[in-house]
Amino acid sequence: MESVSGRDSRTLQYGWFFSDDYSECVVHERYRDSDALLEHVANLEETMNALRQTCSMSGEICGTPSPKLMKALEGSDVRIYFPYQSF
């Protein structure tokens, strides 16, 4: 949490939520834009690599990622949910 608050400049929300036995965790994150998410990933690269050694992770994005973010996500298992477009 300190890494995010001390390094990220455009993170809007960052919270960790644990199951009652602490065996699972959901991290809820909100960013101003795609560049803010890319900044976050760069800032936490070392921490994320360490986490991948101890747990399994998956990711979901709700929104419209920029072309730059889409390129960065190539080959990842991150699912993207685009906004509903009403008629």
Q: What is the pLDDT of residues 17-64, one digit of tens each?
A: 999 999 999 999 999 999 999 999 998 888 888 988 999 899 999 999
Provide the pLDDT for residue 86. 74
Predicted TM-score (pTM) of the model is: 0.82
Buried-state track 7-27, b at ≥16 Cβ within 10 A, e below 16: ebeebeebeeeeeeeeeeeee
Quick one: pLDDT at residue 87? 67
Q: What residues does each domain of the chain span?
A: 2-58
Confidence check: pLDDT of 10 > 70? yes
* pLDDT value, residue 3: 63
